[in-house]
Amino acid sequence: MRIVVVCLLLSIGAFAQSDAGKPSDSKSSTPTAAPLNIPSGTRVPVVLKHAISTKATREGDPVYAETTFPVVLNGRVVLPAGTYVQGRISKIQRAGHIKGRAEVLMHFTTLIYPTGYTVMLPGAVENAPGADKASVKDQEGTITQDSQAGQEAGTIATTAGTGAMIGGLSRGAKGGLIGAGVGGAVGTAIAMLTRSNDVKLDVGTSLEMVIQRDVPLDASRVPNVTSTAASQTYP
């Protein structure tokens, strides 16, 4: 009887040891999700969903935009078209009467995926191809109105020519010179008293946003869409 008990105990111990040596099924079957990031320097085309102008917009006002083209990394779409982008106006400057151009500075702060997944980010304006008579002047993303020097010179020249014609009709050559001087002075005064144009970015204006540092993503919350298109090249 003792021999049977001893053999039974030895069998149980050997089975337990062999079972303990096997790897756990739960650990070996759990997949490890690869990290997903939007790299720093990624350029994202967006369009404005509401108008912005240096005349009506104020510092601190919100900015609403939407991506127009997907960003692809290693064959996977990490930022689909139709993703909402929120931001804020950081600086507004109206043009002066004598000098100083109109400027607007905005920064993007949030991505909202079509699924509702929200991601914080630092983004700035890299380019403003859709802006009318305005361009980005610095690395910070300041959009400034183009120079109006030619337009002001035209105003002065036009008024001077009109004055010369009127003076010439009334007093001959001498009158023409006086009229040109008076007309030029009036034109200069008009140019000085007239405020330069505002920066106007209408609904649908296309901008290029640049991601300023790596943005980590939760891979399980980003739609698993693949693309055969080549991955975007980042500077």
Assess if residue 234 is contained within a domain.
Answer: no
Residues 118, 43, single domain; the answer is: yes
Domain count, the chain: 2
pLDDT at residue 95, rounded to an integer: 82
C-alpha distances out from residue 132 to 38, 197, 201, 203, Å: 30, 11, 7, 12
Say yes or no: 127 and 209 in one domain.
yes
**Residue 65 in domain:** yes
Measured CA to CA, the distance from residue 194 to residue 24 in angstroms comes to 79
Percentage of residues of the chain with pLDDT beyond 90: 47
Residue 2 lies in a domain: no
Q: What's the whole-number mean pLDDT along residues 95-120?
A: 88
Domain co-membership, 138 together with 169: no
CATH number of domain containing 117: 2.40.128.260
pTM of the model: 0.64
Is 88 in the same domain as 117?
A: yes
- Check residue 193 and give its pLDDT: 46
Question: Is residue 122 domain-shared with residue 50, that is, in the same domain?
Answer: yes
Q: How far apart are CA 169 and CA 161, in angstroms?
A: 12
* Euclidean distance between CA atoms 156 and 149, whole angstroms: 11
What is the span of the domain harbouring residue 59? 34-147+197-221
User: How sure is the predictor about 38, in pLDDT bands with cuts at 50, 70 and 90?
Assistant: very high
Residue 192 pLDDT = 46
Same domain, 93 and 47: yes
Classify residue 14: in a domain, yes or no.
no
Same domain, 62 and 87: yes
Rounded-to-integer distance, Cα 48 and Cα 137, Å: 19
Same domain flag for 92 and 109: yes
Are 154 and 212 contained in the same domain?
no
